[in-house]
Structure 1
Amino acid sequence: MEIQRDDNGKKGQFSAIIDGEEAGVMTYTWAGNDKFIIDHTEVNPDFSGKGVGKQLVMAGVAFARDNNLHIMPLCTYAKSVFDRVPAIRDVLF
């Protein structure tokens, strides 16, 4: 699985690509210079059950850690990952 990030300075997204096909996407909106809000996570039904959504959230966490950023998970799926994985809560705001 390859994770790609696209960003226009106001909004962005992480896309999961498997065998050249978009398996899922997680969108976010910037909230200042050092925070972003995860607002939506969606997995292509053909890739359901393969951990795509969690990998997208984890890519967001890695991006936040690498760039000294914080995340607000408004998306219910992303929030559920933060609830289940205490080790990633260091990037919450």
Structure 2
Amino acid sequence: MAEIKLNIQGEPNSFDVYDEDGKVGEMIFELKNQNLTVYHTEVDTEKEGKGYAKLLLDAMVNYVRENKLKVIPLCPYVHLQFRRHEGLYQDIWNKEHEN
């Protein structure tokens, strides 16, 4: 079973996903002025399609809601998910930074 760990001990900050093989993916972000800016989400090629990116997304969304933050989704994956499911994320999506 996969486990998500929050890494905010240094730069870059990340949500990391681990399974029985160790770390298999990460979501890189920055916290600044009540915004969590997501830059990159990546899962090891051999682990793609197993739902790990969605686990990272869910962990980030839960963290943002618990800490009353907003998300600036610069990561293509996160931005696509926010656009596809806008109703799920409208409360945390900082659209002031849209291109």
- TM-score normalized with structure 2 length: 0.84
- Distance in 1 of aligned mates of 2:51 and 2:4: 13
Aligned residues: 92
Distance 1:84 1:52 in 2: 18
Residue 57 of structure 2: aligned partner: 57
Query: Structure 1 segments of 4 or more deviating over 2 A?
Result: 8-11
- Map of 2:70 onto structure 1: 70
**Aligned-residue offset at 1:84:** 1.9
% same residue: 29
> Is the Cα–Cα contact under 8 Å of residues 54 and 81 in structure 1 kept in the other structure?
no
CA distance in 1, matches of 2:65, 2:31: 15
| Structure 2 gap segments, 5+ residues each | 95-99
Greater gyration radius: 2
- Structure 2 distance, partners of 1:64, 1:70, is 7
How far apart are residue 53 of structure 1 and its match? 0.9
Q: Distance in 1 between matches of 2:4 and 2:14?
A: 10
Does structure 2 retain, via aligned residues, the 8 Å contact 1:36–1:72? Answer: yes
User: Cα offset for 1:25?
Assistant: 0.2
Which ranges of structure 1 fall in alignment gaps of 5 or more residues? Answer: none
Q: CA deviation at 1:68?
A: 0.6
The residue type equivalent to 2:5 in the other structure is Q
Which residue number corresponds to residue 15 of structure 1?
16
Partner of 1:89: 90
